[in-house]
Amino acid sequence: MKKLFNKTEFKEYIAITIGAIIMSLGIGVFLVDAKVVPGGISGIAMAIYYLTDGTVPVGLSAWLLNVPLYIWGVKEFGKRFGIRTFYGFSINAFFIDLFRGDIPGFEFIRLQDSSTVQNLMANDFLFLILIGAALLGIGLGIVFKFQGTTGGTDIIAAILHKKFHMKQGMAILILDIVVIIIAGIAIEYKSQPMDKPTIMLILYALFFSVVSARIIDIILDGFDYARQAYIVSDKNGEIAQKIISDLSRGATAIKTRGLYKNVDREMITTIVTLRELGKLTEIIKAIDPDAFVVINNVHEVLGEGFRRRI
């Protein structure tokens, strides 16, 4: 069993690596020189890159900004916060600078200078941005799907949720908008003149964020965005308490009777987002590895903590 677990975990790390590399392509090759900022820590790193006239590599800035956030996250949430977060943002930062030729000895790579990217920059800017959004969304979706993260504003949002009960989605949205505006100011006052006004680049960035977010949802699991779990366990009380405290989700106990053993017991049901599904299964396995769990697709959820489908 332990060997199987290690093999599964290895596959998950491979997937997280692939996802982080795809993200790096989107950011480093298609977005930095286009001056369209994706928000989050990568967006702040791009703003620093513009303010320093390109002397501080984007990946290095992103990594240095993520480290204190990671330490803060470990302090708030404990060691279960996970090595995957550190691994995810480290791989992402490394490959951003590798693809851009900002790592000593690999200056020859510079994929952003390829004829294809330069042609798109000059003749089809919108398609260039859509490619960047798609790569970022696909990469981040893969990372999330295999229970990874690239740190950044996700950490801040989780801490704001814990301390001030702010909804994480709203916190991320606010943080991204602030980052995009800051980067816009940096572009306006420090970058070389461009043929597109700064306000247009900010609007491109907001459009980019919407496209990328939708692709993340699709990568995670088609067009569904939530899951309903039915949990049968002898430790229902502990599981329900963890769902409420760790996921900030409600749980309902349903009285049932198992026909196989003719035993009356309670079944727990709860609804979580796709990002929370991995954490839910971890909670259940940690408390009762023998629990019987059924997970269903949910297309529409109306109520506290869930957005309407559009």
Instruction: Give Rg (Cα) of the chain.
Output: 21
CA distance 306 to 299: 11
Looking at 221, 248, 275, which one is the last position of a domain? 221
Asked whether residue 256 falls in the same domain as residue 141, the answer is: no
Q: In what order do the strands lie in the sheet with 263-273?
A: 252-258, 263-273, 226-232, 292-298
Query: Domain holding 243: CATH number?
Result: 3.30.70.120
Asked whether residue 198 falls in the same domain as residue 108, the answer is: yes
Asked whether residue 87 falls in the same domain as residue 178, the answer is: yes
> Around Cβ 70, how many Cβ atoms within 10 Å?
22
Beta bridge partners of 266: 255
Asked whether residue 280 falls in the same domain as residue 198, the answer is: no
CA distance 235 to 254: 14
* Contact call for residues 212 and 229 (beta carbons, < 8 A): no
Instruction: Examine residue 305 and state whether it is found in any structural domain, yes or no.
Output: no
Distance of CA 181 to CAs 178, 184, 202, 281, Å? 5, 5, 7, 38
Measure CA of the first residue to CA of the last residue in the chain; give whole Å: 43
* Contact call for residues 276 and 247 (beta carbons, < 8 A): yes
Nearest to 274 by CA among 243, 251, 308, 297: 297
CA distance 251 to 264: 19
Tokens 């801040």 appear where?
Answer: 156
Number of domains in the chain: 2
Asked whether residue 294 falls in the same domain as residue 159, the answer is: no
Instruction: Examine residue 131 and state whether it is found in any structural domain, yes or no.
Output: yes
CA distance 151 to 159: 12
Asked whether residue 210 falls in the same domain as residue 268, the answer is: no
Instruction: Examine residue 310 and state whether it is found in any structural domain, yes or no.
Output: no
Instruction: Examine residue 309 and state whether it is found in any structural domain, yes or no.
Output: no
List all residues 6 or more positions away from 283 whose beta carbon is below 8 Å from its beta carbon.
239, 242, 243, 246, 247
Asked whether residue 232 falls in the same domain as residue 172, the answer is: no
Looking at 221, 253, 278, which one is the last position of a domain? 221
Asked whether residue 20 falls in the same domain as residue 157, the answer is: yes
Instruction: Examine residue 307 and state whether it is found in any structural domain, yes or no.
Output: no
Domain containing 268: what range? 226-298
Q: What is the pLDDT of residue 310?
A: 46
Instruction: Examine residue 235 and state whether it is found in any structural domain, yes or no.
Output: yes
Asked whether residue 116 falls in the same domain as residue 256, the answer is: no
pTM check: above 0.75: no
Q: What is the pLDDT of residue 168?
A: 58
> Around Cβ 96, how many Cβ atoms within 10 Å?
32
Q: Two tokens at 257?
A: 């009777």
Looking at 189, 221, 253, which one is the last position of a domain? 221
Instruction: Examine residue 308 and state whether it is found in any structural domain, yes or no.
Output: no
Asked whether residue 113 falls in the same domain as residue 242, the answer is: no
* DSSP annotation string for 228-264: EEEEE-TTHHHHHHHHHHHS----EEEEEEETTTTEE
Beta bridge partners of 228: 271, 296
Instruction: Examine residue 304 and state whether it is found in any structural domain, yes or no.
Output: no
Asked whether residue 20 falls in the same domain as residue 99, the answer is: yes
Asked whether residue 84 falls in the same domain as residue 132, the answer is: yes
* Contact call for residues 238 and 268 (beta carbons, < 8 A): no
Ordered per-residue pLDDT tens for the chain, 310 residues = 445 447 778 888 999 999 999 999 999 999 999 988 888 898 899 989 988 888 999 999 999 999 998 888 888 777 656 788 899 999 999 999 999 999 999 999 999 999 999 999 999 999 999 999 899 888 888 887 787 778 777 777 777 767 777 765 567 777 888 888 888 888 877 655 556 788 888 888 888 877 877 777 677 655 556 889 999 998 999 999 999 988 888 899 999 888 888 888 889 999 988 778 888 998 999 999 999 999 988 767 766 666 554 4
